[in-house]
Amino acid sequence: MAASDKWADWLRRHRYGDDPGWKEHTLAKLEPVRDRVLDLAELEPGNTVLDVGTGEGLIAFGALERTAPDGRVIFSDISRALLDQCREIAEELGVSERCSFVEASAEDLGAFQSESVDVVTTRSVLIYLRDRAAALCEFFRVLRPGGRLASFEPINSFGHPWPEHLFWGYDVTPVQKLGRKVLALYKESAEQSGENTLIDFDERDLFAWTESAGFANIDMRYEAVVGPESPLAGISWDAFLRFSGNPLAPTIQEAVDRALTPGERGRFFAHLRPLVERGKGTSRSATVYLAARKGTGARPQPGAREPGSS
């Protein structure tokens, strides 16, 4: 296995609570997201695709199938460990000759020439950035005239802040004072880690940044859902404790350990565990699917620097 960093560690472990069964469940739920992004990208055989923030390659490997036999896919991420992991998978699948692996930030794609790719794809990437407008300008710059952007993003501001009687969608009213302590710990951790980027924009901002970058034919589909079960419904108790909502956040066990005394922790878990094991709770989520096209007469944004070749 390739070396690790906070991004790789989260994707390999804490996102799934170190539970192979929950990982399988999560990836199955992501398959429709992958397919919808790829549908929006309108991929054709022979296309060159840049998958920004590729992670474990969910979108990128799907793009390889749709651009076969001679299309190319560039796996781009800030995590060298995840790129090495994707490279290993590509070699095992026998498709590495159609792949490139480039370490780069979405806000600075200086490794790529202007007008050098047909499609840019992203999934849950912009949410982690401080300068999303810059990233969208970079996507615009590297696309050829007529090129397509296809993206999926959570809009976490929809469900923020959590109601004080809920903890990961579970009703903790009988131990609400303890829940408040844990939520306060999460808030403090977010302020220290920069996690607030996950909640400081909404779908209107995303549309405005896309339009300002120069894209035409923008199609945004916003979806908001309130449901009768926790977003972690079906997870085991042990995996629940090892779970972290994003690479910048502590695991649930870490947050509770830091916020509560041993006695408080015992009372909090005594109430919470049966709810987790039954999966009874509430979910609130919003997401955006975004498709946009670079006009055939478009040029890179004024002042954009010309980087070296990839």
pLDDT digits (tens, 9 = 90+) for 185-238: 988 888 887 667 788 899 999 999 999 999 989 999 999 999 888 889 889 999
pLDDT value at 306 more than 60:
no
- Predicted pLDDT of residue 227: 87
pLDDT at 115 over 50: yes
- CA distances to 18, 150, 303 from 113, rounded to whole Å, are 39, 20, 14
Q: What SS3 class is residue 100?
A: strand
Measured CA to CA in angstroms, residue 69 lies from 158, 206, 260 at distances of 41, 34, 56
What mean pLDDT is predicted for residues 38-50? 97
Banded pLDDT at 54 (limits 50, 70, 90): very high
The mean of the pLDDT values for the chain is 91
Interval 102-125 mean pLDDT: 96
281 CB-near residues (< 8 Å, 6+ apart) = 166, 168, 169, 170, 171, 229, 230, 231, 232, 233, 275
pLDDT of residue 195: 63
Q: Going along 64-123, which residue ranges are E strands? A: 72-77, 99-103, 117-123
Question: How do strand 99-103 and strand 166-167 relate by DSSP bridges?
Answer: unpaired
CATH fold for the domain made of 1-155+200-223+286-310: Rossmann fold (3.40.50)
CA pseudo-torsion sign 210, 211, 212, 216: positive
Numbered ranges of CATH 3.40.50.150 in the chain: 1-155+200-223+286-310
Q: What is the pLDDT of residue 161?
A: 80
**Distances 241 to 184, 244, 280 between C-alpha atoms, Å:** 18, 8, 17
pLDDT > 50? residue 180: yes
Whether pLDDT at 262 is above 50: yes
Count of H-run helices and E-run strands, the chain? 10, 9
Distance (Å, whole) CA 80 – CA 95: 19
Q: Give the mean model confidence (pLDDT) for residues 128-151.
A: 96
Cα 112 to Cα 305: distance, rounded to the nearest angstrom: 11
Instruction: Show the tokens assigned to 169.
Output: 């969608």
User: Looking at residues 59-80, what average pLDDT do you find?
Assistant: 97
The C-alpha atoms of residue 52 and residue 227 are separated, in whole angstroms, by 31
Q: What is the pLDDT of residues 269-305, one digit of tens each?
A: 999 999 999 988 888 899 999 999 999 876 544 433 3
**In the chain, % of residues over pLDDT 90:** 77
The fraction of the chain above a pLDDT of 70, given in percent, is: 94
Contact predicate 82/56, CB 8 Å:
yes
The tokens 């199955």 sit on which residue?
Answer: 28
Q: With 0.85 as the threshold, say if the pTM is over it.
A: yes
* Spatial contact of 17 and 242, defined as CB atoms under 8 Å apart: yes
Mean pLDDT of 66-74: 97
Give the separation between CA 307 and CA 304, rounded to whole angstroms: 9
- Digit-coded pLDDT (tens) for 161-172: 878 888 999 999
- Asked which of 135-144, 203-212, 245-254, 261-270 is least confident by mean pLDDT, the reply is 245-254
The tokens for 249 are 């956040």
- Determine the pLDDT at residue 204: 96
Strand segments (E) across the chain: 48-52, 72-77, 99-103, 117-123, 143-154, 166-167, 170-171, 216-229, 280-293
Whether the CB-CB separation of 116 and 144 falls below 8 Å is answered with: yes
Is residue 141 classed as helix, strand or coil in its secondary structure?
helix
- pLDDT value at residue 38: 98
